């Protein structure tokens, strides 16, 4: 689920993005003009494939391997790409489905 510029983020996502921007802002000066920093939406990285990696970033629900986990990608600034994951219920809340 890649959220484009026309997406109206939920209050939760706006808060997460604001926190991420606040934490990453000091690194922006280290980037070149075309560089993009990729960071976890929650600010904490997890080992790929771990149980924590399969937990919803919004509600914490564990989602086993399969189709119920939705990757979330948003780019609030040209230099920052934020990635996360949501359970089906939280993904529906975010996209208004």
Minimum separation from the CB atom of position 45 to Zn ion (A) = 19
Nearer to Zn ion among residue 11 and residue 30 (C-beta): 11
Minimum separation from the CB atom of position 59 to Zn ion (A) = 3
What is the token pair recorded at 2? 């890649």
Nearer to Zn ion among residue 12 and residue 79 (C-beta): 12
Minimum separation from the CB atom of position 56 to Zn ion (A) = 3
Minimum separation from the CB atom of position 87 to Zn ion (A) = 3
Measure the CA–CA gap between 43 and 18, rounded to whole angstroms.
11
DSSP 4: -
Q: Are 9 and 54 in contact (CB under 8 A)?
A: no
Footprint of Zn ion (CB under 5 A): 56, 58-59, 61, 87, 90
Nearer to Zn ion among residue 62 and residue 78 (C-beta): 62
Nearer to Zn ion among residue 25 and residue 59 (C-beta): 59
Which helix or strand (DSSP H or E) is residue 25 part of? helix 11-28
Which helix or strand (DSSP H or E) is residue 10 part of? none
DSSP 74: E
């Amino acid at each position: 689920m890649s959220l484009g510029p026309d997406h109206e983020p939920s209050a939760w996502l706006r808060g997460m993005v604001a926190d991420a921007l606040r934490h990453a802002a000091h690194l922006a000066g280290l980037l070149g003009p075309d560089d993009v920093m990729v960071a976890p939406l929650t600010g904490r990285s997890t080992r790929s494939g771990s149980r924590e990696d399969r937990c919803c970033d919004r509600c914490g629900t564990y989602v086993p391997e399969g189709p119920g986990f939705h990757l979330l990608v948003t780019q609030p600034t040209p230099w920052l790409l934020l990635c996360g994951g949501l359970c089906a219920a939280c993904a529906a809340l975010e996209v208004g489905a």
